[in-house]
């Protein structure tokens, strides 16, 4: 377990978003993060797949002993806060059966910026109830690192299919007893086959199902090249979820993503005016992967007894989330539209008289 005492007052310091320092929440003293010289590395998937592992679902929680208050707590989060004294707790990921994080994209968006982003987001939602605009979601927002897998692979795909070429044909038809001709577009199909190759870099797959994937994908793109080699200091003062999606399952999802791109490559290769792809056989060479932590502010708000989740990209400030629709506003809009249609109908009828 890791905790970082303040050199001035001894309290536990936290990583300050947008900086390269650990900051003391009490005396504001700053401890710079000295570069370690470590580099982000991709791991060979083949080597990893040969290792025996305990399924993630069966792994025990982390045990934290808080050096602030001495409390011993258990958590399945990689980093959290002491539930008694609020001191940051960071698990030691080098020991144990889980895949250790290799890279982290540190938070750069801080709480005041989150507040602004949420305000702008709520204001831009016309259908949202007015109550939402006054909710102070930012106060309840948690800075949370979400685990993601990234996969690299070189692929070669052999495909079979057909290339369609358009041509024009003259057709004869009768119109009121008169024989006429017209031009009709048709497609001639030729069988096609070939091989396409593509290198994939950092195909990103969420490692947790606790956050709705459809919202998570709206936070993209992530500035992945800015990721830093993992170091536990970046997690101090922020929550970090443990991955639940096994690397194997992540790879299957990644292959589905790659298949969409490969299908497009096959169609480009087939050429012509239309394409049919009937089979694709892909080999994956040099598959590598790594565990990456991405920064997300998670906020939720309560409206009419229901909880809604909002997320803010901790790097770009992009906001995604669910929102309630105001029944009153929608009803008002429907009435306005109905009135407008009625007005148009009346206007048209009058103009015809």
**Site for Zn ion, rule CB under 5 A:** 6, 8-9, 11, 24, 26-27, 29, 66, 68-69, 71, 82, 84-85, 87
Strands (DSSP E) along 207-273, which ranges?
A: 228-229, 239-240
CB of 298 to Zn ion, least distance (A): 22
Between 40 and 71, name the residue whose CB sits nearer to Zn ion: 71
Give dist(CA 64, CA 114) in Å, integer.
29
| DSSP letters for 28-55 | --EEE----------EEHHHHHTS----
Nearer to Zn ion, 9 or 123 (CB): 9
State the CB neighbour count (10 A cutoff) for residue 298.
Answer: 21
Residue 62 beta carbon to Zn ion: minimum distance, rounded to whole angstroms: 15
For the CB of residue 297, give the shortest distance to Zn ion in the complex, in Å.
24
Q: Which is nearer to Zn ion, 11 or 259 (CB)?
A: 11
Q: Which is nearer to Zn ion, 6 or 216 (CB)?
A: 6
Q: Give me the least distance between CB of 86 and Zn ion, in Å please.
A: 7
Closer to Zn ion by Cβ: residue 9 or 339: 9
**Least distance (Å) from Zn ion to the CB of residue 24?**
3
User: How would you label 42-75 residue by residue, b for 16+ Cβ within 10 Å and e otherwise?
Assistant: bbebeeeeeeeeeebeeeeebebebbbeeeebeb
Minimum CB distance to Zn ion smaller for 15 or for 149 = 15
How many CA atoms, within 13 angstroms, populate the side-chain half-sphere of residue 228? 19
Cβ(224)–Cβ(33) below 8 Å: no
Shortest spacing between CB 33 and Zn ion, in angstroms: 16
What would you report as the CA-atom Rg of the chain, rounded to the nearest whole angstrom?
28
221 preceded by cis ω (within 30°)?
yes
- Between β-strands 103-104 and 274-303, what pairing exists: parallel, antiparallel or unpaired? parallel
């Amino acid at each position: 377990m890791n905790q970082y005492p303040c050199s001035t007052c001894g309290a536990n310091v936290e990583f300050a978003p947008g900086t390269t320092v650990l900051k003391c929440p009490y005396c504001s003293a700053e401890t710079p993060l000295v570069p370690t010289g470590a580099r982000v590395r991709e791991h060979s998937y083949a080597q990893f797949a040969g290792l025996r592992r305990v399924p993630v679902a069966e792994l025990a929680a982390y045990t934290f002993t808080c050096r602030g208050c001495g409390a011993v707590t258990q958590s399945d989060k990689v980093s959290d806060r002491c539930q008694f004294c609020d001191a940051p707790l960071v698990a030691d990921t080098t020991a144990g059966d889980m895949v250790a994080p290799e890279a982290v994209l540190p938070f750069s968006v801080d709480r005041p910026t989150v507040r602004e982003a949420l305000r702008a987001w709520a204001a831009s939602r016309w259908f949202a109830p007015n109550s939402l605009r006054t909710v102070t979601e930012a106060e309840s927002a948690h800075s949370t690192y979400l685990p993601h897998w990234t996969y690299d692979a070189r692929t070669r795909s052999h495909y079979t299919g057909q290339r369609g070429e358009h041509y024009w044909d003259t057709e004869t038809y009768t119109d009121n007893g008169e024989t006429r001709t017209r031009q009709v577009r048709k497609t001639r199909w030729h069988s096609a086959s070939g091989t396409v190759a593509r290198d994939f870099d950092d195909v990103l797959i969420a490692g947790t199902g606790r956050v709705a994937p459809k919202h998570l994908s709206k936070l993209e793109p992530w500035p992945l090249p800015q990721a830093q080699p993992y170091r536990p200091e970046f997690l101090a003062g922020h929550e970090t979820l443990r991955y639940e999606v096994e690397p194997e399952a992540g790879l299957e999802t990644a292959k589905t993503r790659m298949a969409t791109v490969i299908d497009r490559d096959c169609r480009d290769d087939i050429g012509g005016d239309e394409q049919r792809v009937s089979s694709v056989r892909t080999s994956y060479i040099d598959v590598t992967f790594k565990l990456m932590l991405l920064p997300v502010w998670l906020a939720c708000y309560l409206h009419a007894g229901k909880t809604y989740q909002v997320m803010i990209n901790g790097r770009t400030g992009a906001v995604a989330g669910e929102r309630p629709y105001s029944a009153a506003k929608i009803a008002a809009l429907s009435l306005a539209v109905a009135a407008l249609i009625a007005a148009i109908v009346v206007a048209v009828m009058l103009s015809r008289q």
